[in-house]
Amino acid sequence: MKSSAFIINCSRGPIIDTEALVHALDEGKKAGCALDTTDPEPLPTDHALQSRENVIINPHAAWYSEQAMAGLQRGAPSEVRRVLTGQWPVNLVNQAVKENNRAGIK
């Protein structure tokens, strides 16, 4: 990746090695970063990323838009409806529950 690249992280969890990112910024290997999530979260106020001109830290809210909220409002009830009609949710996170299925879902 070029040294002019910016790191953008709007995922969940500790995807970015925070100390490696600080090192890359210190060494000029990356131009900057924008983070919606950090590790740890929140970062301590005296953390090296907090005072940089080339760093944007968002309070874990980059997902929000009117379209995302509307999708959430449609999606959650649809998932509940699927379960109530004997179907597995489309966005089932814990696939292991299928092995111990006591709800009669096929």
Tell me which H or E stretch contains 18: helix 18-26
Compute the distance between CA of residue 60 and CA of residue 12 in angstroms, rounded to an integer.
Answer: 9
Annotated active-site residue in 47, 52, 60, 82:
60
Closest CA to 17 of 33, 38, 34, 1: 38
Q: Say whether 23 is catalytic.
A: no
Of 19, 23, 27, 41, which residue is the catalytic one?
A: 41
Catalytic: 52? Answer: no
Whether residue 105 contacts residue 83, with contact meaning beta carbons closer than 8 Å, is answered with yes
Tokens for 17, please give them.
């090695």
66 is catalytic: no
Q: How far apart are alpha carbons 31 and 24 in whole angstroms? A: 9
> Which residues have a catalytic role annotated?
12, 41, 60
